[in-house]
Amino acid sequence: MGKLAVYKYTSLMFLVIQIVVSIFTFVGLFGGSSNPVSSTATAMIVFVLPLLILANAVLLVYWLARRRYHWAAIPVVTLLCCIPYIGTIYQLRALPADDETLPGFKLASYNVAAFGRETSGFMAQDILSIMKQHKVDILCMQEYLDVSGDKKNSDSYKEYFPYMAVGKDDMVIYSRYPIKKSKAIPFEDTNNSAMWADIDINGKAIKVFNVHLETTGFSRTLSRVKKMEMKGRRVEDNSIIKAIYGNYTLGMIVRAGQAITVANEQRMSHIPAIICGDFNDVPYSFVYNTLSEGMVDGFKECGSGWMYTYRGKKSVRIDYILHDKSLQGVNYYKQELTYSDHLPVFMKFKLQ
């Protein structure tokens, strides 16, 4: 009787855990539909969706090992509902062997982290060399710093990218095709911003949005804590957690408003649009859902493998290329570079 009681208690405990994990998973899947202003906690669950999916997979293995197939149906249904989300971070397909032979144009988006604030221009020139290797036609940079190598007056940049549009001081769009007009989109009470440029690609007008939304605040908070500890000031663990939570929730709310601003600007466009840049948010978040509404996620369309764009310990996807349904992508990929805490993303478009 003792063993049977323990067996039943263990099964009940795992069933409760399964129900809780499944509920949180579904909340995360729909959390991006709620504006963080009114539902901060729900919006935060989206960030841990990969961990919740992993927990469901582990529980599925447990139920199968215990031969409790009726309870195994719960994680199976939950995981099936997660397939669209999984498609935003992983795609099982082979990339084209050589997209350079395909007609069209290639766009790259890269948060260059102010080129490490080095003044020799070496990093900027090295990045330019890589863009040449990938035959990039349009380059959108975030956290751009002009004084690093003086790129506005750089003959090498002008030689490869004859056209250039500058937004706020942290934004730039380089192009091998004529830029007809551009506009900066400043955000209130922040250093972040967005911009767009109308580009004529062989007679076809395309509006390219370059976006850099509010940061999460994790790194900034941890940096402050380290500085305080170096000065010998003791920092309580709970105060660190509160600071991180406060900065992250504030960042979510600010990003939500910025995303709505960019989305409204894009919807007023009468020509096909591409939205790219550093969203500082994960797939299925309110920011992602707002900016991708009516658009195509380039990675889901033609990417391959595991997609992450932040080089830190989080290894999450926060940089994107979205496009109008009238455009067609043929290749989407990232490259492992060490010049920034972000990775550049590339997308080849087919001209209709």
**Extended beta strands in 3-161, E state:** 90-91, 105-111, 138-142
The backbone torsions φ and ψ at residue 337, rounded to the nearest 5 degrees and listed phi first, read: -120, 155
Whole-angstrom Cα distance, residue 112 to residue 126?
12
From residue 48, how far is each of 30, 249, 270, 316, 318 by CA, in Å? 13, 14, 37, 11, 14
Is pLDDT above 80 for 248?
no
The whole-number average pLDDT for the span 285-314 is 93
Place of tokens 């911009």: 195
* Mean pLDDT computed over 25-47: 88
pLDDT in tens, 169-202: 889 999 999 999 999 999 988 889 999 999 999 9
Distance, in Å, from the CA atom of 52 to the CA atom of 265, rounded to the nearest integer, reads 35
Which residue has better confidence, 153 or 208?
208
Residues 6+ apart with CB under 8 A from 205: 180, 198, 199, 271, 272
Kindly tell me if the per-residue pLDDT of 229 is higher than 50. no
What does the mean pLDDT of the chain come to? Answer: 87
**Of the ranges 220-229, 253-262, 321-330, which one carries the lowest mean pLDDT score?**
220-229
On the 0-12 / 13-18 / 19+ scale of CB atoms within 10 A, 206 is buried
212-215-221 Cα angle (round to 5) = 155
Q: Give me 348's structure tokens.
A: 């080849």
| Beta carbons within 10 angstroms of residue 38's beta carbon | 10
Task: Answer for the pair 163, 201: CB distance below 8 angstroms, yes or no.
Answer: no
Sole residue written with tokens 């050589």: 98
Neighbours of 300 (CB within 10 A): 18
Confirm if 177 and 164 have CB atoms less than 8 A apart. Answer: no
Which residues share a beta bridge with 196?
Answer: 183, 209
- Going by the DSSP 8-state scheme, the letter that residue 224 receives in this structure is H
Pairing of strands 204-212, 193-201: antiparallel
**Residue bearing the bigger pLDDT, 43 or 342:** 342
pLDDT tens-digit profile of 88-107?
A: 999 998 776 666 777 889 99
The answer to whether the pTM exceeds 0.85 is yes
Say if residue 218's pLDDT is above 70.
Answer: no
Asked whether the predicted pLDDT for residue 271 surpasses 60, the reply is yes
pLDDT at site 220: 53
